[in-house]
Amino acid sequence: MKFNTKTIHGGQHDVDPAYGSVMPPIYQTSTYSQSTPGGHKGFEYSRSGNPTRAALERSLASIENGNYGLAFGSGLAAIDAVIKLLEPGDEVISTNDLYGGSYRLFTKIFEGFGIKFHFIGMENAATIESYLTDKTKLIWVETPTNPMMSIIDIQAAANIAKKHNVLLAVDNTFATPFLQQPLDLGADIVMHSATKYLGGHSDVVMGALVVKDKALAEKLYFIQNASGAVCGPQDSFLVLRGIKTLHIRMQRHCENGKAIAEYLKAHAKIEKVYWPGFEEHPNHEIAKSQMRDFGGMISFVTKGNNYDEAIKIVERLKIFTLAESLGGVESLAGHPASMTHASIPKEEREKTGVVDSLIRLSVGIEDIDDLIADLKQAIG
């Protein structure tokens, strides 16, 4: 089954056995009848499992070419479960350019439990090896990174992880499985903020993990069930519905993203545009080899690195909405230094390029002429 078909049918039963509904029903229940203690039809309590969530989890596994999917109450809840695989004294090597919430969770929560994090540039994957010790248990990768769109060689990172018997987890939120499938490149765990492209309509908050290995899946399921950070059936239904149009939405996100990246690159007031589709973008060739296209996420800085000018631009936008998040059908604009990455200290942000004038765009699926006209009037 090819990807475009998987988004609609992957992991799904043809019809619901009760009444033949084409879409899996929303099983809005907390508990299930048992004929005798332990005698049930596959579900006993909805923290442990729910038929609607199970349908979503099968879909997630299918589109990532994995064997096991787990759906969580948020992307951070999914990350939290991964880090709970570790013990005090363990070490993690992480991308240094990453979502501010991930950085906050790592440093403000798990460092307090004795887990050490190394935040490094991974554009040259070989750099990872110099930070590996016998205490390293996990390599955490974002690619493209948030918000600098850096590209990390997943296969090279996977080779290093396997050589040293270390887990490799890849945050695939920006790319989605439409553009890249990290498990096929050797990753052990794929993570998504399903709030973003998988849901696609800015109406749900959810996270997801996908793995191939049964033993690893069982450990993560135990953590999920014991900690309780699950999503509800209504949210599961919404993300499952969103996945069914992922392939056609991503095609338009990519088309519009390319047009806007090229428009911004040619603009006299723009200093730098970060988009992996440019030939001069660092690791562009790696992006070409591990991604099917280059996505709809773009960051740029204005000339002069002027904070006030960046704020004026995002405030003047009319079709782009100034808001947190990304990946919806509507175009969004954000100011990472004061919004998504405000939890990262200024000196750490600026080491990776997250300067005060940086603007991040999540390019939606509106008419491209309207989006470019909006940017034109906002930038001047």
> What pLDDT shows up at residue 200?
98
The structural domains of the chain, ordered by start, are 3-243 (3.40.640.10), 246-379 (3.90.1150.10)
> What pLDDT shows up at residue 350?
87
> What pLDDT shows up at residue 347?
87
203 is catalytic: no
Tens digits of pLDDT across the chain (380 residues):
999 999 999 999 867 888 889 999 999 999 999 999 989 989 999 999 999 999 999 999 999 999 999 999 999 999 999 999 999 999 999 999 999 999 999 999 999 999 999 999 999 999 999 999 999 999 999 999 999 999 999 999 999 999 999 999 999 999 999 999 999 999 999 999 999 999 999 999 999 999 999 999 999 999 999 999 999 999 999 999 999 999 999 999 999 999 999 999 999 999 999 999 999 999 999 999 999 999 999 999 998 888 999 999 999 999 999 999 999 999 999 999 999 898 888 888 888 899 999 999 999 999 999 999 999 999 99
Of 186, 188, 235, 232, nearest to 210 by C-alpha is 188
32 is catalytic: no
> What pLDDT shows up at residue 270?
97
Residues 6+ apart with CB under 8 A from 316: 377, 378
Catalytic pick among 80, 153, 171, 356: 171
Of 336, 355, 359, nearest to 273 by C-alpha is 359
Tokens 């940017």 found at: 375
Tokens 């998040």 found at: 325
47 is catalytic: yes
Residues 6+ apart with CB under 8 A from 298: 149, 257, 260, 261, 264, 273, 274, 275, 360, 361, 363
**Which of helix, strand or coil describes residue 152?**
coil
pTM: 0.96
DSSP labels for 283-329?
A: THHHHHHH-SS--SEEEEEETT--HHHHHHHHHH-SSSEE-S---SS
360 is catalytic: no
Please check whether residue 162 is in contact with residue 182, taking contact to mean a CB–CB distance below 8 angstroms.
no
Catalytic pick among 53, 84, 137, 196: 196
> 19-61, pLDDT tens digit by residue?
889 999 999 999 999 999 989 989 999 999 999 999 999 999 9
Catalytic pick among 47, 58, 292, 316: 47
> What pLDDT shows up at residue 245?
98
Please check whether residue 364 is in contact with residue 256, taking contact to mean a CB–CB distance below 8 angstroms.
yes
> What pLDDT shows up at residue 66?
98
Catalytic pick among 6, 68, 97, 99: 99
